[in-house]
Structure formats: structure tokens, C-alpha cells
Amino acid sequence: MTVERDHDDGSATSGLDVRMRRLIADGAFDLPAPGGGHTAVRLRRLVAISAHDLALGRLAEAHLDAISILREAGRTPVAGCLYGVWASEAPGAQLHLTSTSSGTVVRGSKAFCTGVGLVDRALVTARAEPEHAPRGNERVFLVDLDARDPSWVVDPGGWSTQAFAETNTATVHLDDVTIDDAQVIGPPGWYLDRVGFWHGALAPAACWAGGAMGLADHCRATGRGRDLDEHTLAHLGVIDSARWELDLALGAAGAAIDAAPHDAGEAQHTAARARTVIERAVVLVVDRAMSAFGPRLLAQDEWAARRIAELQLYVRQHHGARDHATLGRLSLACPAERADRARS
């Protein structure tokens, strides 16, 4: 597998889909299913991609997740297609399935769609709202859509930061896009209820880890051969230990999924633990990198400044105290035998 380093490419803000398609053609995503005994290999593949090019990792984790979702549903992904997963739920930006005289249509908006104009197909979440159904009782559907449908209206204006600008993350508006039954993936609620949802939750965390590992390696390369003071060396030592912790967390998470591949409770607990450990280590790497090299890392090191901005944005997919509280509840409800497995 060949991964082009993002800051070695003079056109870092273009060609992201070309790099992704090269990985697909090279078989980078021909990996065993999660829980198949090699889950850590899957996670470390995303680490390797993200360490070099975090924007590429962001597209890669969605594509790999889409392939897994389709196979879990008994579907065959379209050969050679680049997939995205658009599942964010934002106030005022939801898609709805509606039955009409001409069939089922999808209408509404979907925010935070990564890869607009880059991916070929997108698995998107939509809601069906029966008449008079109480709010919150709608079931989530997963729909396989042609992401290059020219009738879609794309609004890129909501993405103000330069971080991940090349991923073409935008809000998409659909006005009565007709779909057939085969495009609905699984029964209502299947997307959120399946064990694979929690397996997939580890993929972004692997990309966070890879991004931080790439930054750690960059810091080490920056410091090598220089006469560093004890202050800088201390920060580099903490960065090195955090890098090691990231790899250990991914290995442990992969082993836990492989040990109980069909246990949704175990998978959720593992994902929550790993995401919390990885988020904490990523924040530590970013903080110590800036402390080690001061303002010049942001002002004079273009690659590092972009990587830090991307990491700070990407890792916010972890919801802080809210996710910590979820992990606390899972810990209290954890059966004794599962806790024993985690310690072994």
C-alpha cells in the first residue's frame, strides 16, 4: 500500500479523490470484516493513511465503513465506487422519506456531508415520520443514493475553516429524489441497532490516533539533530509516551471486538473506552507539540499548523463530558465477566 504524504504533494488541496481511488485500486481496503480476527489490522490501516494525510483518512474511514455496512446488510458494494456515509443529525437539517403517488421520495437537507463531488455513492440516514407520530418516535432508515445526482443542491457556505477544506464537506439539499425499495438498506432502525455500528465507531478514533501519531513523528523529526533544552525534551518525552498509548489502545480495542464479535454491549463499551482514551491522548499530543516548539509551530510550519487544526476539529466528534457520562453508565452496567476480560 502506498500513501502519498499530504505535505509532499504540491497540490494538497486537490486530487483527494484521485488518491482515494488509487488506494481502492491498490486493494488497501480489501480487509477482513470487523470481528473477524483482524480488527486491529483494519484500524491500523486507517492509522497508516491518516498519519500521512488526515484528509485522506477522513474519506477512507467513511468508505471502509460503507463497505462494511453494505456487507453486513447482505449487499454487494458497487465495484470501484468511492462511498461516503452521511449520517450527521443537525437541527433543521434532516432528510425524510415520504410516500407519494409516484413512489418513495427523499426530501430535506443533510449537513456535514464529507466528500461532496468526490464520492460516487453515499449511505445517508433519513427519517420516516408517520402522520401524528410523536417527535422522536421516527425510525431511522439508511438509504443508498447516487452522490453525483445533478439535481441535488449543494451549499458549501457553512464550512468556514480551512481545516479539511479539500474534503468538500457541505450541506446537501434534496428535493423529492425518487428511490426504489432496493436503495433502502435494512429495516427501519437497523443502521443504529446493529453491532457493526459500534465497530464502525472505532474507525474515526483510529484516524484521530493516526493524525496524532503523524504529528508526533513530525515533532521528533523537527527536534532530531538540534540542541534541545530540558523543557523541549520533556514535552517530546510525553508525546512519545502518548504515541505508544494510542497504539496500545487500538490493539486492545481490536482484540476486544475479535473476542466477542456479536456482542453489541461489549462493542459499545469497547468503542466508548477506546474513543475516550484516544481523544485524551490526541489532545495531549497537540498540546505538548505546541508547548515544545512554541508559536513557530503554528506560524512557520505549514504542515504542522494544518495538521493541528485538522486534529482539533476532527477529535471533536468525541462529545467530551457527554461521552464520558455514557462510558460511566456502561461501566456500572458492565457484567463481571466482561470486566474480567477487559483486565486480562
136-179 pLDDT per residue, tens: 545 788 999 999 988 889 988 778 889 999 999 999 999 889 88
Quote the cell numbers at residue 285. 499530543
Domain spans, the chain: 85-188
Q: Is the pLDDT score of 226 beyond 60?
A: yes
249-305 pLDDT per residue, tens: 999 999 999 999 999 999 999 999 999 999 999 999 999 999 999 999 999 999 999
311/218 Cα distance (integer angstroms) = 14
Strand extents, DSSP E, the chain = 83-86, 95-100, 103-113, 121-128, 139-146, 153-155, 170-179, 184-185
Angle of the 264-293 helix axis to the 336-343 helix axis, nearest 10? 40
Q: How far is the CA of 287 from the CAs of 101, 277, 298, in angstroms?
A: 57, 16, 12
What value does the mean pLDDT take over residues 222-235? 95
∠ CA 47-242-16, rounded to 5°: 25
Q: For residue 179, what are the contacts with CB-CB under 8 A and spacing of at least 6? A: 103, 104, 105, 106, 143, 145
- Give SS3 for 155: strand
Q: Is the pLDDT score of 46 beyond 70?
A: yes
Multiple choice CATH, 85-188, 3.40.1110.10, 2.40.110.10, 3.20.20.80, 1.10.287.610: 2.40.110.10
Q: For residue 256, what are the contacts with CB-CB under 8 A and spacing of at least 6? A: 266, 270, 341, 342
Please, are residues 232 and 305 in contact by the beta-carbon 8 Å criterion?
A: no
Please give the span between the terminal C-alpha atoms of the chain, in angstroms, as a whole number. Answer: 34
What value does the mean pLDDT take over residues 82-102? 88
What does DSSP assign to residue 36? S
109/61 Cα distance (integer angstroms) = 23
Residue 275 neighbours by CB distance under 10 Å: 24
Question: 22 pLDDT band (50/70/90 cuts)?
Answer: very high
Residue 207 neighbours by CB distance under 10 Å: 30
What does DSSP assign to residue 189? T
Q: Evaluate if pTM is beyond 0.85.
A: yes
Residue in 193, 276, 281 with CA at minimum distance from that of residue 244: 281
Residue in 102, 103, 104, 106 with CA at minimum distance from that of residue 86: 106
- The burial of 260, by beta-carbon neighbours within 10 Å (0-12 exposed, 13-18 middle, 19 or more buried), is given as middle
pLDDT, position 10:
35
153/172 Cα distance (integer angstroms) = 6
